[in-house]
Amino acid sequence: MSTSAELQRRRTFAIISHPDAGKTTLTEKFLLFGGAIQTAGAVKSNKIKKSTTSDFMDIERQRGISVATSVMTFEYNDTLINILDTPGHKDFAEDTYRTLTAVDSVILVVDCVKGVEEQTEKLMEVCRMRNTPVIIFVNKLDREGKDPFDLLDELEEKLTISVRPLSWPISMGARFKGVYKLIDHSLVLFRPGGQKIADDILEVNDLSDSILDDKLGADADQLREEVELIEGVYEPFQEQLYQEGLLAPVFFGSAINNFGVRELLDTFTRIAPVPGSREADIREVKPTEDKFSGFVFKIHANIDPRHRDRIAFLRVCSGKFERNTFYHHVRLNKKLRFNSPVTFMAQSKNIIDESYPGDVIGLYDTGNFKIGDTLTQGEAINFKGIPSFSPEIFKELINLDPMKAKQMDKGIQQLSDEGVVQLFIQQPGNRKIVGTVGELQFDVITHRLKHEYGASCRFDQLKYFKACWITSDDEKKIDEFCDRKSSYIALDKDKNKVFLAESAWILKVAQDDFPDIVFHQNSEFKTTLPVK
């Protein structure tokens, strides 16, 4: 198959949701449809559920939350689908943001009982800023949830995006009967607990068809009224608006019952964008270009705890990636060759010979990669869009075992390269200030430093409010500022200067006193995301 044909059949997307909305369950149903897993009943089993997806780390097993982001590839209707799973837990939000840089579209899962939750709103903000096309799946219709019209209003209001239902639920909870597909006017009837892949579908040419009354009883008239209302209120679905990230089609269903999933997947494969162009520092890179390029958006250590292996997850952006070929590591200005690049399917990894734009491959790494690194066939370009954001919590890392100082240094450095933490070094004394989005990450760090590097540590809370990257056209101003505020200046992993502000007021005073200095909210020196 030609590179362009390979490109055309690829769809790379992430499923995102507030924890517990059903992201994992939906992912597994997708895999079932794609034949990537065989056990239809497996989805109900905790064992399979907890070990099929992103369960690479011990700590995740202990906590039962998705710490890691994993990648799964399967084929459906001749389409090659790469799903990037994301941790729903807010403490790992940065990991999710980075993953969103590597996808072309998103499926957002919302629980019909809970509606739009906090994490959903934040994730959607990231999608909106990147104009990522979003399809919404309203899940758990087998439960008594919010009124579907209210839900649509809530989606529009809280997610600040226009929505357009493409399927419509017929009642819900114990009375849930199925969905009416607004796209092709067919009725899909619900059978609770159905684990089979095929649904019962009835073609209905006309809503006045008496078959509706036979199958739905009193709910038939209500459906007729609601469909009329929808068609009156909502504009017909426009694919173009979806592709531009302005309009989100909405599906209703129940992932656990395997209901509404096929409609979602069919529409997804039809309308979701193929791998698109990517912004690099000096130019835009098109997927159709002959020469290979890609960037690392995630690094995962110790997938197999018996070996100290790291895997860098690379999104292929252009050309064809080939095994055993030398590529140019732009930051290190070094040639690297990979003899066992892998793709992922649940916990199994398969060595691949070639990959195409949209694919995510795992490269075994001995410490060459940092998040954001670019590989090319020689050109010195750097892909943009993987900034660090100001952490929310800051603590000083204190080594508890002087004999293990080297191990701790190495460990925290690697965790910083992986993007698990942000490390700021402050002088004098090489103080290590660790910044994270959530408390949970400190547990992860302590656990990993102990188990992977044999280093014991403690964290002392610091009262910082924000880390701001500082730049100025006038270097002297920076020097002056750093002299004046020396105890609040630190260097980030790339040796950029950062001002650690203790409060919003202190930050404001600093800005007022030093108008020639720009206080950046993220490490890419342009604010693309709110610092919240």
Q: Identify which of residues 254 and 293 has a Cβ nearer to ligand G4P in the complex.
A: 254
Using rule CB under 6 A, residue 172 touches ligand G4P: no
Residue from 55, 94, 142, 492 binding ligand G4P (CB under 6 A): 142
Count residues binding ligand G4P (CB under 6 A).
19
As measured in angstroms, the least distance from the Cβ of 146 to ligand G4P is: 14
Alpha-carbon distance of 168 to 230, in angstroms, equals 9
Q: Identify which of residues 19 and 115 has a Cβ nearer to ligand G4P in the complex.
A: 19
Instruction: Evaluate whether 372 touches 383 at the Cβ level (below 8 Å).
Output: yes
Using rule CB under 6 A, residue 23 touches ligand G4P: yes
Q: Identify which of residues 255 and 444 has a Cβ nearer to ligand G4P in the complex.
A: 255
Q: Identify which of residues 159 and 415 has a Cβ nearer to ligand G4P in the complex.
A: 159
As measured in angstroms, the least distance from the Cβ of 64 to ligand G4P is: 8
Q: Identify which of residues 55 and 418 has a Cβ nearer to ligand G4P in the complex.
A: 55
As measured in angstroms, the least distance from the Cβ of 141 to ligand G4P is: 7
338 by Cβ neighbours in 10 Å (0-12 / 13-18 / 19+) ranks as: buried
Using CB under 6 A, which of the segments 23-31, 177-185, 325-333, 507-515 binds ligand G4P?
23-31
Nearest to 237 by CA among 177, 159, 181, 172: 181
Using rule CB under 6 A, residue 16 touches ligand G4P: no
Nearest to 311 by CA among 333, 341, 339: 341
As measured in angstroms, the least distance from the Cβ of 445 to ligand G4P is: 23
Instruction: Evaluate whether 287 touches 383 at the Cβ level (below 8 Å).
Output: no
Q: Identify which of residues 107 and 433 has a Cβ nearer to ligand G4P in the complex.
A: 107
Q: What are phi and psi of 408, to 5 degrees?
A: -65, -40
Which residue type does 434 have?
Answer: V
Which residue type does 5 have?
Answer: A
Q: Identify which of residues 261 and 490 has a Cβ nearer to ligand G4P in the complex.
A: 261
| Per-residue contact string for residues 239-278; x = within reach of ligand G4P by CB under 6 A | ---------------xxxx---------------------
Using CB under 6 A, which of the segments 139-147, 171-179, 192-200, 478-486 binds ligand G4P?
139-147
Residue from 90, 143, 286, 384 binding ligand G4P (CB under 6 A): 143
Residue from 7, 21, 182, 408 binding ligand G4P (CB under 6 A): 21
List all residues 6 or more positions away from 285 whose beta carbon is below 8 Å from its beta carbon: 277, 278, 279, 293, 317, 318, 381, 383
Residue from 2, 46, 366, 487 binding ligand G4P (CB under 6 A): 46
Distance from chain centroid for Cα 407: 31
Residue from 7, 12, 13, 24 binding ligand G4P (CB under 6 A): 24
As measured in angstroms, the least distance from the Cβ of 72 to ligand G4P is: 13
| Lookup: tokens for 335 | 């040639």
Using rule CB under 6 A, residue 19 touches ligand G4P: yes
| Lookup: tokens for 272 | 């979701």
Location of structure tokens 């080594």: 399
Site for ligand G4P, residues 308 to 367, rule: CB under 6 A: none
Q: Identify which of residues 1 and 174 has a Cβ nearer to ligand G4P in the complex.
A: 174
| Cis? peptide before 287, omega within 30° of 0 | no
| Per-residue contact string for residues 76-115; x = within reach of ligand G4P by CB under 6 A | ------------x---------------------------
Residue from 3, 8, 48, 49 binding ligand G4P (CB under 6 A): 49
Using CB under 6 A, which of the segments 137-145, 264-272, 387-395, 503-511 binds ligand G4P?
137-145
The total of other beta-carbon atoms located within 10 Å of residue 209's CB is 16
Using CB under 6 A, which of the segments 18-26, 376-384, 449-457, 461-469 binds ligand G4P?
18-26
The three-class DSSP label of residue 251 is: strand
Instruction: Give strand pairing partners of 250.
Output: 136, 165
DSSP of 156-222: HHHHTSEEEESEEEES-GGG--EEEETTTTEEEE--TT---SS-EEEE-SSTT-HHHHHHHTTHHHH
What Cα–Cα distance (Å) separates residue 292 from each residue in 111, 289, 335, 354?
Answer: 40, 8, 14, 11
Alpha-carbon distance of 219 to 469, in angstroms, equals 58
What Cα–Cα distance (Å) separates residue 353 from each residue in 102, 343, 464, 485, 499?
Answer: 21, 10, 48, 53, 46
As measured in angstroms, the least distance from the Cβ of 219 to ligand G4P is: 20
Instruction: Evaluate whether 357 touches 83 at the Cβ level (below 8 Å).
Output: no
Using rule CB under 6 A, residue 521 touches ligand G4P: no
As measured in angstroms, the least distance from the Cβ of 120 to ligand G4P is: 10
As measured in angstroms, the least distance from the Cβ of 128 to ligand G4P is: 21
Nearest to 142 by CA among 63, 9, 260, 56: 260
Q: Identify which of residues 255 and 420 has a Cβ nearer to ligand G4P in the complex.
A: 255
As measured in angstroms, the least distance from the Cβ of 424 to ligand G4P is: 32
Contact footprint for ligand G4P (CB under 6 A): 17, 19-25, 46, 49, 88, 139-140, 142-143, 254-257
